[in-house]
Structure 1
Amino acid sequence: MAKYLVCGKYIGDGVKGLLNEGGTSRRSEIEKLVASLGGKVECVYYAFGEYDIYGIMDMPDSTVMVAFSLRAAASGLVTVKSVALLTPEEIDEAAKRTGEYRAPGVNWLP
């Protein structure tokens, strides 16, 4: 499974819905949607600032993560941003892989 940080911002009547239903109710709905897509919610937190809600989710793949985002955003009451999370071991593995690349305007390769 792939791990994602999900950031959401309630807009318009979405804020009113949160006030009426409460945070635990919205968390339950998120957990239901994620489970219906074959994923698992690790945690959900509310915050103030750029985003209203944050979650860490394990999803089968990026297509499933997009399905989650589309379903939530289709309501028109929340915007969703997702960020793929990588473990230090995955970064180690990526660092071992090499490829040929020349930066624009650079005539040498490190």
Structure 2
Amino acid sequence: MTKYLFQANYVGQGIKGLMQEGGTKRQAAVVQALESVGGSLECMYYAFGETDVLGVFDIPDQSSAAALSLMINSSGAVSLRLTPLMTPEDLDAAASKTPSYRAPGQ
């Protein structure tokens, strides 16, 4: 499973839907969407300002994350951004690799 940070903003009708349904029903909808692709919700928080809702979820693979993102964003009611999260051990593994690279102009 891969963890993702999600950040979302309600847009247009999505704001009205949130006001009608409330936060707990929208959280249940997030859980249901994640379960439909084999994922689970770790945490979810509402905020105000630049971001309306954020949290962390686990999902089996990138294609499931992309499918979920495409479906949610295509609704036009929510603008969703996903950021894959890495453990310290993941970063250790990345730092131990030595890829070959030539910078532009060199």
What interval of TM-score do these two structures reach, taking the shorter chain for normalisation?
over 0.9
Unaligned runs of 5+ in 1: none
Kindly name which structure, 1 or 2, has the bigger radius of gyration based on alpha carbons. 1
Q: Higher mean Cα deviation, 49-58 or 22-31?
A: 49-58
Q: Deviations over 1:27-60 (max 9, x none)?
A: 0000001011100100110111221011201000
For normalisation by structure 2, the TM-score amounts to: 0.95
Are residue 79 (structure 1) and residue 103 (structure 2) matched?
no
For normalisation by structure 1, the TM-score amounts to: 0.92
* 2:92 partner letter: D
Per the TM alignment, residue 104 of structure 1 is displaced from its structure 2 partner at its CA by 2.2
Q: Who is 2:17 aligned against?
A: 17
Q: Deviations over 1:52-102 (max 9, x none)?
A: 011201000111001111121121100110000000110000000001212
* 2:41 partner letter: V
Distance 2:105 2:37 in 1: 46
Identity of aligned residues (%): 47
Q: Who is 2:89 aligned against?
A: 89
Q: How large is the Cα RMSD of the aligned pairs? A: 0.9
Paired positions, count: 106
Q: Who is 2:5 aligned against?
A: 5
Unaligned runs of 5+ in 2: none
Q: Deviations over 1:1-23 (max 9, x none)?
A: 00000111100011011011000
Q: Who is 1:102 aligned against?
A: 102
